[in-house]
Amino acid sequence: MGTKNIGIYVHIPFCKKKCEYCDFKSYTGKESLIEQYIKWVKYELQEVGEGNRKDYEEGRDDLVIVKSIYIGGGTPSIIPSKYISEILETIKQYFVLGDIDNLEKNNIMNDELIKQLFNHQSIDNTNNNIANLANNIKTTEDVANKIGNTEITIEVNPGTVDEAKLKEYKKCGINRLSIGLQSTNDRILKTLGRIHTYTDFLNTYNTARKIGFENINVDLMLGIPNQTIEDVEESINNIIKLSPEHISTYSLILEEGTPLYNKLEANEITLPSDEIERKMYWLVKTKLEEAGYTHYEISNFAKKGYESKHNLACWNQEEYIGIGAAAHSYTNTVRYSNADTIEEYINNYETGNEVDNIIFHEKQNKTSKMQEFMLLGLRKIDGVHIQDFKNKFGENPIFLYRKELEKLVNENLVEIDGDTIKLTNQGLDLANLVWEEFV
């Protein structure tokens, strides 16, 4: 019997209004289904927590410890906060929370503790029972320090939360907010069809700080129609002044069928050229690094110690379980997802066809797992550590991918530096060419 960290993702697919560029699995005008939906989300959590969903978990004999929980959407912040509390209560009831790295580092993971945790006799890291189990732990505070907190994030849209809601989030253990700002320019927010203004964002951000949230991510978008480099500069300067712990910056990709895509096709809007979009990216990178942020993944920046555990786990090919409609999971080398729509998800449970909720994608073999490890790992600015690869797969990536790496190094897209294989600055701009070699 062993132990392993996992992440849990819970999808809340409700939105007030569809943004003009949105291709995500999110729906408007379905508020009447919220209660029913949450009921089955809690059921699914229980089912997985109790180990009853065997389909892709055969042979699972490890104790799973939840290192991160991410409540995303959609717009999780538009549903009543009591449902968010209920979801977290359910997770605490059926899973063990904590960070195994800390447990091992502090030498407090022993067989007896594992056995007790397996029987759900002690659930979260504030529970006194753990103190009784580990000889070298004396107080609950000590426990919390040694086990480390599970990172619990909720996505919030500006203007959809008030002080009471944020207080309830804090009370039920949420310790990280991810606020979808995109731009501090109201004209651009309007182009995107966002429901909020910059002032709404400031109100949400300042209220969250007042209540005591100490880990906040802000999303910034680049390459928006009619967005100039000066607009981006103004946005990033405004964000830096607020000093959030984490900033994600993504380039707009217009998917077919979205209103903005149709406007582009009808020549009603134009997008910044690739060259300008790259200049925006490098401007943001330079400004954030000057302000003390670490660029740790192609699109993500953080103050030291605030890198997102949830996202890092995905890039490190660790396991996660997705709960709710359209949520994706990765366990025991199998990738699968849940039925896409809210109605399908609910109906499959209510008619006893819950097996139809699971859509199989892929069972990895060693080759596909190694390729994916390279592809995901190269997203990180630190890249892939050769020793980590050897430890995980018993193979040397330099030898295994010598043809691909030789080509990428010659094209100046990848560099090999001691124990590390990583993107060059040019590779950051042309990452797609790198991924192609590992698909």
Interface with ligand SF4 by CB under 6 A: which residues? 15, 18-19, 22, 24, 26, 73-75, 157
* Helices 198-211, 163-171: inter-axial angle, 10-degree rounding: 40
Residue with tokens 């029972």: 129
- Cα–Cα distances (Å) from 63 to 47, 95, 151, in that order, read 15, 9, 19
Q: How far is the CB of 78 from ligand SF4 (least distance, A)?
A: 9
User: Which residues pair with residue 14 across a beta bridge?
Assistant: 27
Query: Do 428 and 380 contact (CB within 8 A), yes or no?
Result: no
Q: How far is the CB of 118 from ligand SF4 (least distance, A)?
A: 37
Token digits for 147?
């086990």
Q: How far is the CB of 153 from ligand SF4 (least distance, A)?
A: 15
Query: Do 221 and 251 contact (CB within 8 A), yes or no?
Result: yes
Residue 434's Cβ-count burial label (10 Å; 0-12, 13-18, 19+) is buried
- Which residue number, 77 or 116, has a Cβ lying nearer to ligand SF4? 77
CA 127 – CA 121 distance, rounded (Å): 10
Those residues with Cβ within 8 angstroms of residue 272's Cβ, 6 or more apart along the chain or in another chain: 223, 224, 225, 227, 228, 280
Q: How far is the CB of 26 from ligand SF4 (least distance, A)?
A: 4
Q: How far is the CB of 81 from ligand SF4 (least distance, A)?
A: 18
- Which residue number, 155 or 354, has a Cβ lying nearer to ligand SF4? 155
Q: How far is the CB of 432 from ligand SF4 (least distance, A)?
A: 23
Q: Look at residues 26, 94, 15, 35 and name the one whose alpha carbon lies nearest to residue 321.
A: 94
Q: Look at residues 392, 388, 377 and name the one whose alpha carbon lies nearest to residue 422.
A: 377
- Which residue number, 26 or 317, has a Cβ lying nearer to ligand SF4? 26
- Which residue number, 259 or 398, has a Cβ lying nearer to ligand SF4? 259
Q: How far is the CB of 247 from ligand SF4 (least distance, A)?
A: 17
- Which residue number, 19 or 96, has a Cβ lying nearer to ligand SF4? 19
CA 168 – CA 213 distance, rounded (Å): 12
State the distance between the two ends of the chain, measured CA to CA, in whole angstroms. 34
- Which residue number, 150 or 182, has a Cβ lying nearer to ligand SF4? 182
**CA 190 remoteness from chain centre:** 26
CA 183 – CA 186 distance, rounded (Å): 8
Do the bridges between strand 151-156 and strand 414-417 make them parallel or antiparallel, or are there none, so unpaired?
unpaired
- Which residue number, 258 or 317, has a Cβ lying nearer to ligand SF4? 258
- Which residue number, 97 or 323, has a Cβ lying nearer to ligand SF4? 323
Q: How far is the CB of 337 from ligand SF4 (least distance, A)?
A: 17
